[in-house]
Amino acid sequence: MAGRKKILLVTGSMNQTIQMAKVAGELKEYECWFSQIFSDSALLNLARKHTTLLDKTIIAEKYRRQSEAYLETLGYAIDYRAERNSYDMVICCSDLIVPKRLRATRTLWVQEGMIDKPTWITWLVKRLRLPPSLCFNTSLNGATNTCDIYCAASEGYKAHIAAMGTDAHKIYVTGIPNYDNLAVHVGNDFPYKGYVMVATTDMRETARFENRAAFIRKCVTIAGGRQLLFKLHPNENFGRAIREIRRYAPASALIYTDGNTNDMIANCCELITQYSTVVYTGIALGKKVHSRFDLRELETLVPVQNNGTAAKNIATICRKYLESGQDAAAFAREFRYDAPVHAYDHYLSIPSSYAG
CB 167 within 8 A of CB 126: no
Same domain, 139 and 270: no
pLDDT score of 337: 78
57 lies in some domain: yes
Final residue in a domain of this structure, among 301, 317, 345: 301
Same domain, 103 and 248: no
Q: Euclidean distance between the first and final Cα of the chain, in Å?
A: 54
Question: Could you write out the DSSP letters of every residue in 277-290?
Answer: TTHHHHHHTT-EEE
φ, ψ at 272 (rounded to 5°) = -115, 120
Same domain, 161 and 278: no
276 lies in some domain: yes
52 lies in some domain: yes
Domain, as residue range, for 13: 6-180+303-325
Structural domain count, the chain: 2
pLDDT score of 44: 72
φ, ψ at 326 (rounded to 5°) = -90, 155
Tell me how far apart the alpha carbons of residues 89 and 4 are, in angstroms, rounded to a whole number.
Answer: 12
Angle at 72 between CA 69 and CA 75, to 5 degrees: 165
Nearest residue to 208 via CA among 135, 129, 288 = 135
User: What are the residues facing 33 on neighbouring strands?
Assistant: 8, 77
Q: Where residue 133 sits, what CATH number does that domain have?
A: 3.40.50
pLDDT score of 349: 42
Same domain, 21 and 168: yes
330 lies in some domain: no
Q: Where residue 204 sits, what CATH number does that domain have?
A: 3.40.50.2000
CB 208 within 8 A of CB 175: no
pLDDT tens-digit profile, the chain (356 residues): 457 999 999 999 999 999 999 999 999 999 999 999 998 877 676 767 766 666 667 777 888 999 999 999 999 999 999 999 999 999 999 999 999 999 999 999 999 999 988 989 999 989 998 888 888 788 999 999 999 999 999 999 999 999 999 999 999 999 999 999 999 999 999 999 999 999 998 877 776 788 999 999 999 999 999 999 999 998 888 999 999 999 999 999 999 999 999 999 999 999 999 888 899 999 999 999 999 888 888 999 999 999 999 999 999 999 999 999 899 889 988 888 776 654 444 444 444 333 33
User: What are the residues facing 270 on neighbouring strands?
Assistant: 196, 288
Tell me how far apart the alpha carbons of residues 271 and 230 are, in angstroms, rounded to a whole number.
Answer: 10
Same domain, 218 and 284: yes
Same domain, 282 and 317: no
343 lies in some domain: no
Same domain, 98 and 172: yes
Same domain, 152 and 23: yes
Tell me how far apart the alpha carbons of residues 274 and 215 are, in angstroms, rounded to a whole number.
Answer: 9
Same domain, 210 and 188: yes
Burial class (CB in 10 A: 0-12, 13-18, 19+), 221: exposed
Burial class (CB in 10 A: 0-12, 13-18, 19+), 150: buried
342 lies in some domain: no
Radius of gyration of the chain (CA): 20
345 lies in some domain: no
How many helices (H) and strands (E) the chain has is answered by 13, 12
Same domain, 32 and 152: yes
Same domain, 78 and 164: yes
Tell me how far apart the alpha carbons of residues 214 and 209 are, in angstroms, rounded to a whole number.
Answer: 12
User: Which distant-in-sequence residues (6+ apart) come within 8 Å of 69 by Cβ?
Assistant: none
335 lies in some domain: no
Q: Which parts of the chain fold into alpha helices (H)?
A: 14-25, 42-50, 61-73, 100-103, 120-128, 155-164, 212-223, 238-248, 261-267, 279-284, 295-301, 310-324, 328-334
pLDDT score of 339: 67
Same domain, 113 and 218: no
